[in-house]
Amino acid sequence: MNAIEVENLSRAFNGVKAVDDISFSVQRGEVFGFLGHNGAGKTTTIRMLSGQLLPGSGNARVAGCDVITEQRRLKPLIGVVSEHQNLYERMSGRENLEFAVRLYGQDVRRVSETLKQVGLVERADDNVRKYSNGMKQRVLIARALLHRPEVLFLDEPTRGLDPVVGREIRRLILDLSSEGVTIFLTTHYMEEADQLCGRVAFLSEGRIVAMDTPNALKVAHGQNCVRVTLHNGESLSIALDRRDAGEQLKQLVNDGQVRTLHSAEATLEEVFIRMAGRGLSE
Amino acid sequence: MNMRTIAAITRKDVVDAIRNRYLLTALITPLFVALLFRVLLPGDGSRSLLNIVVHDPGNSTLVAELRNTPQMKVVEADSADAIASEVEKRKAIGGLVVPANFDADVAAGKQPELTIYVNNKKSVFEQSAFRRLLDQQVRSLVQHPAPARLVWIDVDKESNEQSRGGVGLGQMLLPLLLIMTLGMIGAMVVPLLLVEEKEKRTLDFLLSSPASLREIVAGKALTGVAYTILIAGLLLVINRQLVGNWLLTLLSILFGLVFVVSIGLVMGSLLNNMMQVNTWASSVLIVLLAPTFPSLALPAAVETAMRLVPTYYLSEALKLSLAGSAPSRVWGHLAVVLVCSVIAFGAATWALRNRS
């Protein structure tokens, strides 16, 4: 059974379609990447799938629950890490988690375990206001995990974090996935998506323009090439799907012009640019 | 609705509000003012009655009602000409000359002339209270016939004047402070609790948790109720000697509470950031508090406009309750507050449903 099933989901704001007739499914335990520009509809999709926003049309089931009619059953089964660091800043990390535990009707003792899990025991009683971005992000993730959700929505979980914290969070995502937690991830970092996600969907102007495993997308839509550096300092990129690629390479080697030669696969970013018309950072 | 969820939200908000300097200031201001006046004017707790000299050859209903007013002590003068000198001699707040056929003229809608003397040597607070009480009595005459309670007043007047209320500064201040507390809760605390969740995006977290929007709103409303009970309770305890009728006073506060919390929920659902709340809160607070200030010879139009604000009736209900008036004199005001509360609650429900 799929953890997430979406059929023809749409949502408009003031007549402008933020999400336009999207359909996909995510298997249990899968890390599914949802990639797109700012305003492409990623957060709106998460808000609809997590019961924060009613869809305009279409159906969606998350953890076996209809997102419109079964919200009360759905919410204890999901965790959401927002793209905004939406913590109560006048409260400590521990108080934030204790509040969440009470909302979910869980045992408050679970807070200490979770603080340990995300490495925040020492600073647990400090005001969140004094935390670094990385620490806040860890509290957010801890808060989303406290009630052991089946499906975890992560909206840009590593944005603005230093590489070390980013790596820790990526490791945590893989650990959770191996424990059977389904992860719905949005990110601007293509390498991160490539590294973490079993499948990715590219979203552009509210529509899914491509969806597959990162490798399949790279093979199907990327352009493999050979990068050649010549002795005169010039750099060439020779696409391997060109008919005359072999001849051109042979000529350069025979002429003794080649200094270095590397194969270069298409990146997910390049595939995305090809599909969506511009890069994620633009 | 899940009570556990509501309790969790209320508990969080009660603690969090104390850490918010802005909210804390709003919450403790009425208490601070009450304590300040107790320190600066320690003797004000004693209740001076408003002495009034009347010449009423026709034994009018108006004077009968004045005798029935807990804040007043009515003394008869032999003639209309003696009123001014009697006022001065007895150090009364004022005097009143009632024509012999006053009741008949009122009943016929003739608007008979009343000559009222005000002792300018008395404090502005006492003068203001006198004007207000007299005005209130005249209006009540036109609205409905006065009940006869002469016997009861005669006994009470002689036996226990101290417990019948008065118009010391403390007694004028207490209704104002109670309504200020309610106003702060309604115009500032409740909207800020809601708007801050929107602005800091913590509402997204709440909405993705098992809490429904209805439970979130109930949690905020309950926080407002909890703080009102705490602060109004402290104000009443500090000024307990000024409370004439505890049950009516508490009932007035309860009705007022429903009204202001509903106003707060309307504001919280319509406004989106704290800047907007700050801007609107001041205006709403001024409107809510204006009718509770002692009227210092305001133009008639302004006085009439004040009567359009529900806190006018709340203020009257509180003043009468604190003065120990009979319930029959308070019910009318409380009924107006209750109707306004129901309307405000309906508006809050509509606004929240629309915004969600």
Residues B36 and B82 in one domain: no
For B210, the closest of A86, A104, A143 (CB atoms) is A104
Q: Would you place residue B355 in the very low, low, confident or very high pLDDT band (cuts 50, 70, 90)?
A: low
* Range from A59-63, A267-271, B129-133 carrying the lowest mean pLDDT: B129-133
Q: How many domains does chain B have?
A: 2
Q: Looking at the structure, tell me whether residues B182 and B300 fall in a common domain.
A: yes
Residues of A near B (Cβ–Cβ under 8 Å) read: 47, 50-52, 71-72, 75-76, 78, 80, 82, 84, 86-91, 95, 99-100, 102-105, 143
From A116-120, A197-201, B6-10, B337-341, the region with the lowest mean pLDDT: A116-120
Q: Is residue B78 predicted with pLDDT exceeding 50?
A: yes
- Looking at B105, B134, B163, the residue that finishes a domain is B163
- Least trusted range by pLDDT, from A238-247, B143-152, B272-281: B143-152
Interface confidence, given as ipTM, is 0.81
Cα separation, A22 vs A11, in Å, equals: 10
Identify the weakest region by mean pLDDT among B42-56, B73-87, B286-300. Answer: B42-56
Q: What is the mean pLDDT of chain A?
A: 88
Mean pLDDT score, B81-93 = 81
Q: Are residues B151 and B202 in the same domain?
A: no
User: What order do you get walking across the sheet with B115-118 strand by strand?
Assistant: B72-76, B50-55, B94-97, B115-118
Question: On the CB side of B23, how many CA atoms lie within 13 Å of its CA?
Answer: 25
What is the structure's pLDDT at B301?
78
Q: What is A2-214's CATH topology? A: Rossmann fold (3.40.50)
- The pLDDT value recorded for residue B170 is 61
CB-based contact A47 B20, cutoff 8 Å:
no
Q: Are residues B310 and B348 in the same domain?
A: yes
Q: Which has the higher per-residue pLDDT, A77 or B238? A: A77
Q: Give the pairing type, strands A31-36 and A199-204.
A: parallel
Say whether both B308 and B245 belong to one domain.
yes
pLDDT value for B157: 34
Shared domain for B254 and B154, answered yes or no, is no
Q: Which of B163, B194, B216 is where one domain is finished?
A: B163
Q: pLDDT digit string (tens) for B143-182?
A: 544 322 222 222 233 333 333 334 455 667 888 888 888 8
Average pLDDT, chain B: 79
Model confidence pLDDT, tens digit, residues A150-192:
999 999 888 878 888 888 888 888 988 999 999 999 988 888 8
Query: The domain that contains B100 carries what CATH number?
Result: 3.40.190
CB-based contact B206 A103, cutoff 8 Å: yes
- The runs of H, that is alpha helices, within B160-273 are 169-184, 190-199, 202-208, 213-238, 246-270
Check whether residue B94 and residue B148 sit in a common domain: yes
Per the CB < 8 A criterion, the answer to whether B103 and B60 are in contact is yes
State which of B118, B133, B163 marks the end of a domain. Answer: B163
> Which has more pLDDT, B263 or A220?
B263
Q: Which pLDDT score, from 0 to 100, does residue B253 have?
A: 92
Residue B205 touches partner A, C-beta closer than 8 Å: yes
pLDDT of residue A127: 92
Does B125 share its domain with B207?
Answer: no
Q: Which residue has the higher pLDDT, A123 or B120?
A: A123
Q: Would the CB atoms of B16 and A104 count as touching at under 8 Å?
A: no
pTM value is: 0.73
Q: How many beta carbons lie within 10 A of that of residue A129, not counting itself?
A: 12
Clarify whether residues B85 and B205 are in a common domain: no
- For B79, the 3-state DSSP assignment is coil
What strand order describes the sheet that includes A182-186?
A: A78-81, A151-155, A182-186, A31-36, A199-204, A207-212
**By residue range, what is the domain housing residue B254?**
3-41+168-355
Residue A55 in this model has a pLDDT that exceeds 80: yes
Q: Report the pLDDT value the prediction gives residue B50, as an integer from 0 to 100.
A: 78
Residue B204's contacts (CB-CB under 8 Å, 6 or more residues apart) are A47, A52, A80, A82, A84, A86
B178 shares its domain with B313: yes
Are both B132 and B178 inside the same structural domain? Answer: no
Locate the domains of chain A by residue range: 2-214, 223-265
Of B155-159, B182-186, B217-221, B316-320, the one with minimum mean pLDDT is: B155-159
| B182 and B113 part of one domain | no
